Amino acid sequence: MTEAFNDAFSDYDIPAKYTTEYLTNLVIRRGYRPDLAVGAFDGDRLVGFVFNCLDGQEAYNSGTGTAISHRRRGIARQLMQRSIETLPAKRYILEVIDTNTRAEALYRDLGFVETRRLQCWTFWSAAALPPLLKRQQAAALQIIRSWYDFAPAWQNEVASIRRASEPHIVIGDENCGAVVFPSNGDVPLLAVKPSARRRGLGRALLEVAAARVGKPLRIMNVEDSVAGFLERCGAQKFVRQIEMVRII
């Protein structure tokens, strides 16, 4: 699976160079179901795949790809059609990079509808650890989630965080909170209580998270409304994605 994934995404805007451990952690967190995955084989070689995930009545596509040597043969379409026919879900969710117009067209042709545009950012700061939040008791995941003004993307939801096989850190206090994975710097949740905004708490969360993990943070698949805040904090946008949904 790792070899097939890295081959399929080797020429994308963000080329994949995943280890088996990294890919395993990624799909487990998203709710991967091996019994619902779909693959195309050339002999013993996996040349096309859809890594499907499930949570209740919703399914999530954690990756669709075709080996470079086997493209233009309709493999991705057949794999997606098989997924749509067999998934025990009412909604099928995926994201596609907005520059991948060929994949976007395929998904639209298969009945997927755009629901929103998402942005992916990276943040690194060499600033000294701010005194704010150092000794505060961290907020619970559901409390942080309740402070959101929009629904987090699939991989950022509380259910995905709890499924993760790698450990995460929760920082914050009664007014703000964030979740960060030390293994890769991923920040799935970061929010400030509405009544406590405009006090610099969001930036403080980013600074503390970066200091705790000692590497650049990845703030993946957040809505456009967060862009202004991240820009002011010095974060850099590196890709945009389109979230799409099909009713099954």
Q: Do domains 2-89 and 120-242 have the same CATH topology?
A: yes
Listed by start position, the domains of the chain span 2-89, 120-242
Residues pairing with 48 in the sheet: 40, 66
For residue 156, give the DSSP letter: G
What is the pTM (predicted TM-score) of this model?
0.93
What pLDDT band is residue 135 in, cutting at 50, 70 and 90?
A: very low
CATH number of 120-242: 3.40.630
Q: Supply the pLDDT for residue 132.
A: 53
What pLDDT band is residue 14 in, cutting at 50, 70 and 90?
A: confident
Q: Give the chain's largest Cα–Cα span.
A: 60
Q: Supply the pLDDT for residue 125.
A: 80
Q: What is the mean pLDDT of residues 209-225?
A: 95
Which position has the higher pLDDT, 125 or 207? 207
Tell me the average pLDDT of the chain: 94
End-to-end CA distance of the chain: 26
CB 151 within 8 A of CB 145: no
Q: What is the mean pLDDT of residues 212-234?
A: 95
CA distance linking residue 32 with residue 83, whole number of Å: 13
Cα 123 to Cα 136, 141, 217, 230, 235: the distances in Å are 23, 22, 5, 8, 4
The tens digit of pLDDT for each residue in 16-34 reads 899 999 999 999 999 999 9
| Domain boundaries 2-89, CATH class | alpha beta
Task: Name the strands in the sheet holding 169-172, side by side, starting at the edge strand that comes first in the sequence.
Answer: 38-42, 45-55, 58-66, 91-97, 236-247, 113-123, 217-223, 186-192, 176-181, 169-172
The tens digit of pLDDT for each residue in 177-197 reads 999 999 999 999 999 999 999
The tens digit of pLDDT for each residue in 68-91 reads 999 999 999 999 999 999 999 999
